[in-house]
Structure 1
């Protein structure tokens, strides 16, 4: 029950078991959850970072600033914006001399 309903704590599980006609103490439920390494309800109901990113990926745009060394031993600087969900580059700019106006565009 705890894995299927992450917001349910010991008391809620106890209530559901009583509805089914099962008499169990809350301490027994707590021990059983601990033995199976199932944390308290507030921790189980929190969204993991991976799940959060997966849910919000369509709305997240990332910015990256990188340098590229060319064959002619010249360094170019790249600033790009990319959609996280599709990994599609939305916008980019390249220069050999980055300054404040170039970065703030």
Structure 2
């Protein structure tokens, strides 16, 4: 059984398969998503659910675009639960898991695209 890829460039290539475009999107991801994920973790620790929602919402588009399937449902759930103040006890674990995956993706992308 093969392990699912950490991310995919398939959706990006459907938009524009030029190397410049893909490199730009990867660069933007590396500059913003890990920092936004860290900010989401801090907001979660502070139980600032408005900010948790804000960062989950920001991260979601990039997670979708890079097809990071292992965490997309968790990002959506954190976004919805933080906004609605529901199942708050589950958010912290999900945010931690999202953070771990985002860091792995960022590390791989840095090695591949910089």
TM bucket (normalised to shorter chain) is under 0.3
Structure 1 length-normalised TM: 0.26
Higher helix share: 2
Query: Normalized per residue, which structure has more strand?
Result: 1
Higher RCO (CA 8 Å, separation ≥ 6 residues) = 2
TM-score normalised over the length of structure 2: 0.25
